[in-house]
Amino acid sequence: MAHDHHHHKESFITKYIFSQDHKMIGKQYLLTAIFMGAIGITLSALFRMKLGWPDTQFSILESILGSDAAPDGMLDSNWYLGLVTLHGTIMVFFVLTGGLSGTFSNLLIPLQVGARDMASGLLNMIAYWLFFISSVLMAASLFIETGPAMAGWTVYPPLSVLEEFQPGSGLGMTLWLLSMTVFIASSLLGGINYIVTILNLRTKGMSMTRLPLTIWAFFITAILGVLSFPVLLSAAVLLLMDRGFGTSFYMSDIVTSSGALDATGGSPILYEHLFWFLGHPEVYIILLPALGMTSEIISTCSRKPIFGYRAMIGSMLAIGFLSFIVWGHHMFLTGMNPFLGGVFTFTTLLIAIPSAVKAFNYITTIWKGNVMLTPAMLFCIGSVSTFISGGVTGIILADSALDISQHDTYFVVGHFHIVMGMTAILGMFAGIYHWFPKMYGKSMNKRMGMVHFWITIVTGYGVFLPMHFLGEGGLPRRYYENTNFPMFDHFLDLNIMISIFATIGVLAQVIFFFNFFYSIFRGPKASLNPWNANTLEWTTPIEHVHGNWIGEIPTVHRWPYDYSKPGKEQDFVPQTVPLDDNEEEH
């Protein structure tokens, strides 16, 4: 491998724009994700205004969204659904799939396995630009007159097929499908690259059982993505054909205002199966990278080996495998054979076992540690907490019988925001605070990080815990207003409280944006190994070089979790330090 990459000068374009360097690509993903995230959470703050104050006219809504979407400052009901749909889509796919995996898989895989770059820099660059294009398409759909896709982030047909059913199913939905098609192409290219790099480009001594848990998590995530995204692609292609070419894969026996449609023989349930065959693994595509990073950070900051390294790998593998045979739990009430309901209940509840193992292992890692409560560590603790809190309510939703009275209520919204939304977002923040020095060679301000954490966790729980009670009261999700039913009137004040928490939570992210951008330009210079960590990325120079290491790639002699090992002077032993005579590995 040529090490002399860093010798020749690069132009601005090849260095910052069409870069094939994994570190730069990782940063590009991060910036795009931050931008999309800002849109996504702003949308949630906007539609929460309608839910919190159903009768108030907010002229700001009209000025932001235009008078089609919010005439006289009252959000239009179609647009409400449009905002919810885009919020969900952006958060799930663009921030927590493309953004999270894209940023950290790219940054950390080569650095932590000891490779000069990704297996294919070119594919990697193409993957990023496809991601960028799909982000632009998705964001652009907010600006069309008839509004963005409005059928929910799951875009079930027939609602998503005919413009007659809702205006967003016209051009907005077309853009949604185009954007997602490009997005899927991007994530497949990315995923293949990650897998190949991890399998083939590990440095000498870096056996699979010496890989940091981050890498294991990215590895399993990439496999899940490569196996499940193609299924979403086929679902999307069939949907495109139903919309544009008169096929009826998903349509049958439908009457519109102009009479009965020709379509017969198709079924919307087919779409649901295809969608959720991706949709459930997707949840773990979002979660696993966050769980991997928190494993790494918790161990480093507790100055203690991760407890049960092999059990952590085993449970991630088990979760990854099981995630493919549980998708039916989203479909208990579609009228499918009750026997299948029982099967999916069983497989779904099995996932709770490896998840519980992970949670207990985290807690045991902190036990008797010497815990550095850095901002990254704070976010990790928050992430473990939300993983537990959201995980336990999942047990209720996994139960087909109980789902009869919980399905699609706000209980579900509370559940998935805590277990998936918050766990992954907090994990992502943890990753950003922890690896910022590696990305930009600067440190972020720790005080602002602490404030950011506390406001985020408090408002996060403040928003999503009460939602469980709305759901127990029977309130359906995707309701534009809750005022049509006197039976929900007693939730008026709770809805206001949620909206206030949501607004504060969204505004608090400004602290993060400020800290992030300020530190890129003006942050104090980082030291080589700021957290005294063992992994390889901290042996690379602070100033990024092509090829990552100036000389030879270091050889690895031990697992990455030798913290506070007895008989060692320092409380950490980098992976590059050879084992002493008759030292046990672990």
- Give Cβ neighbours of residue 187 (< 8 Å, ≥ 6 apart): 97, 98, 101, 127, 131, 225, 229
Distance (Å, whole) CA 287 – CA 384? 11
Partner in contact with 362, chosen from ligand HEM, Cu ion, another protein, none, beta carbon below 5 to 8 Å by kind: another protein
Strands 255-256 and 259-260: antiparallel
Are 19 and 124 in contact by the 8 Å Cβ rule? The answer is no
Type of residue numbered 575? Q
3-state secondary structure at position 525 = strand
User: Which residue in the shown chain puts its C-beta closest to Cu ion?
Assistant: 280
Decide if residue 522 touches another protein (CB under 8 A): yes
Q: Using CB under 8 A as the criterion, what x/- string covers residues 250-279 for binding another protein?
A: -xxxxxxx-xx-x-x-xxxx----------
510 burial class (0-12, 13-18, 19+ CB within 10 angstroms)? exposed
Distance (Å, whole) CA 484 – CA 70? 20
Q: Using CB under 8 A as the criterion, what x/- string covers residues 24-63 for binding another protein?
A: -------------------------------x------xx
- Give Cβ neighbours of residue 175 (< 8 Å, ≥ 6 apart): 137, 138, 140, 141, 144, 148, 149
Distance (Å, whole) CA 239 – CA 250? 7
Range 469-498, binding Cu ion (CB under 5 A) = none
Range 290-319, binding another protein (CB under 8 A) = 302-311
Q: Can you give the binding site for ligand HEM, defined by CB under 6 A?
A: 41, 44, 48, 84-85, 87-88, 91-92, 96, 152-153, 413, 417, 420-421, 425, 463, 477-478, 502, 505-506
* Binding-residue total with Cu ion (CB under 5 A): 1
Decide if residue 407 touches Cu ion (CB under 5 A): no
- Give Cβ neighbours of residue 510 (< 8 Å, ≥ 6 apart): none
Q: Which of 144, 163, 530, 577 binds another protein (CB under 8 A)?
A: 530
Smallest separation, CB 460 to ligand HEM (Å):
7
Q: Which of 22, 27, 280, 304 binds Cu ion (CB under 5 A)?
A: 280
Q: Which of 7, 8, 9, 490 binds another protein (CB under 8 A)?
A: 490
Per DSSP, which regions of 52-118 are E strands? none
Are 44 and 128 in contact by the 8 Å Cβ rule? The answer is no
Choices 170-178, 224-232, 237-245, 486-494; region in contact with another protein by CB under 8 A: 486-494
Decide if residue 243 touches Cu ion (CB under 5 A): no
Q: Using CB under 8 A as the criterion, what x/- string covers residues 74-103 for binding another protein?
A: ---xx--x----------------------
Partner in contact with 153, chosen from Cu ion, another protein, ligand HEM, none, beta carbon below 5 to 8 Å by kind: ligand HEM
Choice between 144 and 392, CB closer to Cu ion: 392
Q: Which two tokens stand for residue 101?
A: 């995996």
Q: Which two tokens stand for residue 123?
A: 């594919």
Choice between 246 and 541, CB closer to another protein: 246
Chain length of the chain: 586
Choice between 159 and 506, CB closer to Cu ion: 159
3-state secondary structure at position 409 = strand
Smallest separation, CB 115 to another protein (Å):
26
Q: Using CB under 8 A as the criterion, what x/- string covers residues 362-401 for binding another protein?
A: xxx-xxxxxxxxx---x--x--xx--xx--xx-xx--xxx
